[in-house]
A and B are shown apart, each in its own frame.
Chain A
């Protein structure tokens, strides 16, 4: 009997302990709203020019108010938890704002510029301080240079990955693995300098689209190796063993069993690498030289490329140049994003199936 009354007596207290000393569910949203209002008020009253300051003040207020309120109502441990949560949300907002601003601003500035004329015409005869002109020559140049770079880098990268996964043992494989990793981090301008000193200064070739694609290939190789390696490692060993058991030689096993199984992931990796080198400016700037007219031959004479075009239009330092730069930036982003989306779609569609 007494035990029952005890539990009855305890229960309400327990319930109070669990629910009453908590901030209501809408508290974070409410505090955020208050912080934003206060931030704007301080901004307006304090006559602060840039919105960046308003946002920073609001963010600090949000974190501070949350911690103070929670410490008062819920106790220190809960307050720390709330503090961490609010800081994480703040980091999220801090990251979203510039990235969204970048995308939005590029769209806004570029959308008015890009049209059929812009995509279909070169800069031949267009004075840089006047309106008009387009990116056709740059588009052609970029496509050719990237295609050539891919033709060089993809097979070498693929074979290297095959070596590392299927054959690689011992010191050579270790060295290759390490230097592939290091190579991923080569600054693009260093790759450009290297091709410059080798291809143009030592061998005496002229500036051309091909010289640019050589540097791009150097940047692309390690990325292809890395992603292909990961994909080949995912191929289940049972498949290889089954193939050997049927008497198929190793090279045929690799060509007919291992590579086809992983082909989806490999394609994805190559396309992501292509997307990465498409936006490289520095090596192209040193090696391709840039031109205003259409040059369809990547092996002879200066070419143009999209990133280089953006850079040159930016440097012309007038509103028409800026407009063309934004237009080209939009074209470039659209191209890179399309490659990314297709690559990821392929990855999802043809991911290596597990062994059964």
Chain B
């Protein structure tokens, strides 16, 4: 009788000490993992920068304006001019095709399709977002490239005057930046569609009904109620897609026949992108060659960082002042 309250108190004290220790262990574990992620990010940036400077020291050419990539030559010269152009050109083509189509498909799923089609189709799009890029590359190289020659000669014939679509190497296999852009467009389409669809679905139902009640047609309703609401979401979805397109390696490497040529004739084979260049040259690169590739990897890293950061900022801003939830 007399001993029981102190025992209970002691037990309680031990339990609370235990729980405090458990709490601090668990807290530190979880905070540690968070810090580990930051450390990894810092290490990626740090290591690539360090290697890049090793490479810059040996570079005889200008890193930003040189076309060739000969880091292992007796007089190492290498530059990213071709890669910058190729990466941006192929991504821009991909975005120009994928974004309008993705918005259309997203609207189709959220507002146009009969419900019986919309649900399974949305599901299918999500599944297709998971198809590995090597499969897109294989398909692009073995199926799409042979089917592209008709389209490219057509573009050359009727749009050749634009210079961009003027094909100077007639009869060459269309392993060009243009074809790469199309493959990339098909690859990023499911991602952009999935995100835009979610945003369009969240458009306030009240606004839509109000617009319809005022006599708007369906398109007028979408233009006035859905699209303004969804714009930031679509922009950030497109930026995420752009990030993917910029960093895509293997699909580009399979489709493109690369060469150190910077040409605005997008239908001609040739050119290169950052990731494709790394994948292709890594195997036979020597010491300096590897460092040079890391330098180009650093540039790619910074570019994707900026694009993704901008996308996130747009999303975050939208959360603050949107009327939803």
Interface residues of A, Cβ cutoff 8 Å to B: 48-53, 77-78, 80-81, 83-85, 87-92, 94-95, 98-99, 101-103, 105-106, 155-157, 159-160, 162-164, 166-168, 172-173, 175-176, 178-191, 193-194, 196-198, 201-202, 218, 221-222, 225, 249-252, 254-255, 272, 275-276, 278-282, 285-286, 307, 310-311, 314, 322, 325-326, 329, 332-333, 336-337, 340-341, 344
Contact = CB atoms under 8 A, between A and B. Distances in A.
Contact of A190 (B131, B147, B220, B301): B301
A316 to B, nearest CB: 13
A190 B132 contact: no
A156 B304 contact: no
Contact residues of B: prevailing secondary structure: helix
Given A48-B154, A181-B308, A102 B34 contact: no
B211 interface: no
Contact of B37 (A95, A166, A176, A187): A176
Nearest to A98: B186
Contact of B279 (A51, A87, A285): A285
B219 A325 contact: no
Interface in B85-131: 100-105, 107-108, 112-113, 123-128, 130-131
A50 B26 contact: no
Contact of B51 (A197, A272, A322, A337): A197
A346 to B, nearest CB: 15
Contacts of A255: 26
Nearest to B246: A187
Residue among B113, B151, B240 facing the most chain A CB atoms (10 A cut-off): B151
B274 to A, nearest CB: 8
A150 to B, nearest CB: 15
Contacts of A286: 279, 282
B147 A52 contact: yes
Contact of A186 (B44, B217, B218, B248): B44
A86 B27 CA distance: 56
B77 interface: no
Given A176-B37, A190-B44, A193-B278, A163 B30 contact: yes
Contact residues of A: prevailing secondary structure: helix
Nearest to A51: B147
Interface string B253-277: 1100000000000000000000100
Interface stretch (B17-25, B56-64, B68-76): B17-25
A53 B247 contact: no
B308 A50 contact: no
Nearest to A282: B249
B172 interface: no
